[in-house]
Structure 1
Amino acid sequence: MTIIDGHPDPDGSRFIHALADAYAEGAGVDNEVRCIRVADLDFPLIHSRQAWEHGKAPGDIVQAQEAIAWAEHLVILYPLWLGDVPALLKGFFEQVMRPDFAFRYVDHGLPQKLLKGRSARLIVTMGMPALAYRLFYRAHSLKSLKRNILNFTGLSPVRSTIIGGIEGSPHRRKDWLARVCRLGTKAR
């Protein structure tokens, strides 16, 4: 399993980092776990279609691709920023999910999904209540990531966990860390 910690801030006090560690702790009991911390990687943003389709992936991205190709299950954690994934995580996906790694176009321009046979879990934190995000905003960033990147490249099923009100009490955070650790033990 490969865990992708998508928080762009390397500060170890960020709750996403603690959640990624909790999932890894639970999963590590019965599984080999590899971790990618997007904040620690060195890669440029892509500025053109030419660079995306034909450019050479930087070393950190190649290592991330190897960890993704190796895994049967991906766990992607990120904070909701301005209603979406943070820009650095989006840039990471643009670098990693390149043609001929994640997909390739075949007959009549239809995509061949090269990451089939892998499942994923999305864990998203936010300040607003999770129910408000699901009902009022219809969890649009989760749906976009799932449909436009993960399912497009073959990852399925993709499950999600939304953690709202993270600015709440330390007791709630401790409870969420325990829940995420249990998810890790189930490798789901």
Structure 2
Amino acid sequence: MNVLVIFTHPNHESLNYAFLEQVLRGSRENKNVTEIQVLDLYKEGFDPVLVFHEQKRRRDMQYDPNLAKYREQLTWADRIVMIYPIWWGRPPAMLLGYIDQMFAAGFAYQNKGGWFPEGLLKGKSVVCISTMMGPARYPLLWLRNAHQVLMRKALFQYVGIRRVKFFEFGSMESPRGRQKEKLERIYRYCKTV
């Protein structure tokens, strides 16, 4: 299994970075993992801004040569692991800009004229690891699970990815947030699944 880890946090001394380290540690010890690639969107300097004009049209995004490397990574990956904080009830703009550009028509899905498109990324799995300052139940109770609905239904199922696992860790800035326990949980998951 090829694993692509997409890390989206500007601080390498953050708890999110500690989760990245545990994902890598567990994946390296997983006998089913052949190769691992890490895409650090901030370190990479990924430009999340969509630009469309006469020479760069939305319908041609799947051919954009500036995104070829990222398309190759997504095609190569069997499992995609996304690590990011939840800010204002959603992933960071950097990750959303990546999604807007990478999950484009002609690459991630194909319109067939019906109600739903044909997903072109079938057979892959996704693991979303997110942290938030507020309590873990906040997105579920207050926001009606908007984050998971956005990621699972509006994105991954749309492009053909059915196997999606979420780890949403709340109260991460609290001294009682059990950070070490949650880091260990991610390590064990990546080592065995």
Question: What TM-score do the two structures reach when normalised by structure 1?
Answer: 0.88
Superposed displacement of residue 25, structure 1? 1.0
Report % sequence identity. 24
User: SS of the residue aligned with 2:5?
Assistant: strand
Give the letter aligned to residue 119 of structure 1.
S
Matched, 1:17 2:24: no
Task: Note the alpha carbon deviations across 1:81-122, whole angstroms, 9 max, x for none.
Answer: 111111111001111111111011124474111000111111
Aligned counterpart for 1:105 among listed residues 95, 102, 111:
111
Distance 1:109 1:131, change over 3 A: closer
Aligned counterpart for 2:95 among listed residues 89, 94, 98:
89
C-alpha contact (below 8 Å) 1:127/1:165 kept by paired residues: yes
Give the letter aligned to residue 40 of structure 1.
K
Distance 1:107 1:127, change over 3 A: same
User: SS of the residue aligned with 1:94?
Assistant: helix
Aligned counterpart for 2:158 among listed residues 152, 156, 161:
152
Task: Note the alpha carbon deviations across 1:106-157, whole angstroms, 9 max, x for none.
Answer: 2447411100011111111101110232223222112111111111001111
Give the letter aligned to residue 47 of structure 2.
F
Aligned positions of 1:156-171 closer than 5 A: 156-169=162-175
C-alpha contact (below 8 Å) 1:116/1:155 kept by paired residues: yes
Aligned counterpart for 1:57 among listed residues 53, 61, 64:
64
Flag the structure with higher helix content. 1
User: C-alpha root-mean-square deviation of aligned residues, in Å?
Assistant: 2.1
Distance 1:69 1:178, change over 3 A: same
What's the counterpart of residue 135 of structure 1?
A: 141
Listed as ranges, the gaps of 5+ residues in structure 2 are none
Question: What TM-score do the two structures reach when normalised by structure 2?
Answer: 0.86
Matched, 1:37 2:40: yes
What's the counterpart of residue 4 of structure 2?
A: 2
User: SS of the residue aligned with 2:6?
Assistant: strand
Superposed displacement of residue 51, structure 1? 3.1
How far apart in 1 are the matches of 2:147 and 2:48? 23
* Larger CA deviation: 16-25 vs 167-176: 167-176
What's the counterpart of residue 122 of structure 1?
A: 128
User: SS of the residue aligned with 1:95?
Assistant: helix
